[in-house]
Every structure is written in C-alpha cells, then in structure tokens.
Structure 1
Amino acid sequence: MDGEIGVEEMKSLLGNDGVRVVDIRSPGAFQRGHIPGSENVPLPALVGSVERFAGADRIVTVCPHGESSVQAARLIASYEGFDGDVESFGPGLTGWDGPLETADATGNDEGPDAPF
C-alpha cells in the first residue's frame, strides 16, 4: 500500500483515466451514493476478484470511515499481478464534501439520505 490520500487529491483524480476508485461498501450503500466514477467491489468479494486490478496504474479504495479501505488497499497491493500504486481514501465517505452519484436499480434514489 502506498498510503492515504485526502479530499483535495481525490477531487483532482476524478475523471482521470489512469485511476480506478474502488468503493468496498455493500451494493445497497453504493447505490445510495458514491464518489462519481467509482466502481463497487464489496470487501467480501474483493479477495475473489483482486485479479481484475492487474495492470491498473493507480487504485484508490473507499469505505465509510477510511478504515476498511486500508485493508482493501493492502490486499490489492499484495496481489502478485498488481504493480501499480494503491492508496486508501483517508477521510472515508464521511469526510467527502464533493459530489455523489446516486441510483438504485431503476436509476432513482429513493433510499435513506445517508449513503453509508
């Protein structure tokens, strides 16, 4: 793992083709609100799908409070097929003050206000 990043750095990375933002929350929490452009890989599924990150240049893992994302970043970094940079989003979604994408299976957000 290459450390943690903060809110301003995360904002500067949004839309960058070389960066993959991996949200490790449950699918329901992800649908209620996530950092734009992020992909959902729940932590329990990460072990079985870590090979999907082989060849990525940079990955930032995201969770609600910046704790579980450290574990996820370490897991990805330990994968033999991965040689890019991997960081955790330190503040977690509770510290994110940027935009959130929201959607349920129909494209409408009708769930609780909190995306966690």
Structure 2
Amino acid sequence: MDGEISGEELQALLDDGAEDGDLRIVDIRNPGSFERGHIPGSENIPANELTDRVEELDGAGRVVTVCPMGKSSIQAARLLGSYEGVDGPVESLADGLNAWDGPLETPESSGGSTDGSTAPF
C-alpha cells in the first residue's frame, strides 16, 4: 500500500481524465450499497471477493480503494499492493465515502450524479 489519497486529490485525478484506464477506483462495498451510489467510473469488487478477483486489476497504473469510512479500504489496499500484477501505486481513499464531496452515480441520476452529501452506505 502506498498510503491514502484525499477526496480532493482523487477528484483532481478524475477531472484530469485519469480514469481512462490508468486509474482504477475499486469500491469494496457490497453490490447493493454500490448500486445505491458510487464514485463515477469506479468498479465494484466486494471485499470478500478481492482475493479471487485481484487479477482483474492486472496492469493497473494506479488503484484507489474505497469503502464507507476509509478503514476497510486500507486493508484492501494492502492486499492489492502485495499483488504483483498491479504496476502502480495502490492507495485508500482517506476517510472513505463519508468524506467524499464529489459526485456520485445513483440509480435516480440515470447516469448523472448527485453531490456527496447523500452518500449511501
């Protein structure tokens, strides 16, 4: 694991277009929570599936793990950081979705977004 990244830093990466293959945002919540709202461009790999699905991140230039409070994502980042297939840094979103002020994709937004104040956990 290469530490934590703030919500502001992650938003700057997204604004710069880093999600086009180089940046992988891995939301480790269960599928139901993910569907209720997630960071645009993120992918859902639940924590209990990380070990079996880690190869999906082969060649990732940078990985940011996400959970509600930023605690479980630290453990997930440590696990992913130990995997040889991930080429770049592996970081955890500091304070998780609880502190995320950026947009969220939700079913209601139909591909749009809402502000982070309604973050579903």
TM-score normalised by length of structure 1: 0.88
Structure with more contact order per residue of length (Cα contacts < 8 Å, sep ≥ 6) = 1
Structure 1 residues 33-72: aligned runs within 5 Å? 33-72=37-76
Aligned sequence identity (%): 63
> Which string of whole-angstrom CA distances, capped at 9 and with x for unpartnered residues, describes residues 46-97 of structure 1?
1101111111100000000000000111111111222311000012001011
* SS at 2:64 equivalent: strand
Which structure 1 segments of 5+ residues have no match? none
Partner of 1:3: 3
Q: Given the alignment, which residue of 95, 99, 102 partners 1:98? A: 102
Compared CA separation, residues 114 and 10, structure 1 to 2 (3 A): closer
Structure 1 residues 5-44: aligned runs within 5 Å? 5-14=5-14, 15-16=17-18, 17=20, 18-44=22-48
* Runs of 4+ off more than 2 Å: 80-83
How many residue pairs get matched?
A: 110
Compared CA separation, residues 102 and 69, structure 1 to 2 (3 A): same
Deviation (angstroms), 1:103: 2.1
Q: CA RMSD in A?
A: 1.7
TM-score normalised by length of structure 2: 0.84
Partner of 2:120: 115
What amino acid is aligned across from residue 50 of structure 1 in structure 2? V
Alpha-carbon distance between aligned partners in 1 of 2:101 and 2:85, rounded to the nearest angstrom: 33
Alpha-carbon distance between aligned partners in 2 of 1:64 and 1:114, rounded to the nearest angstrom: 9
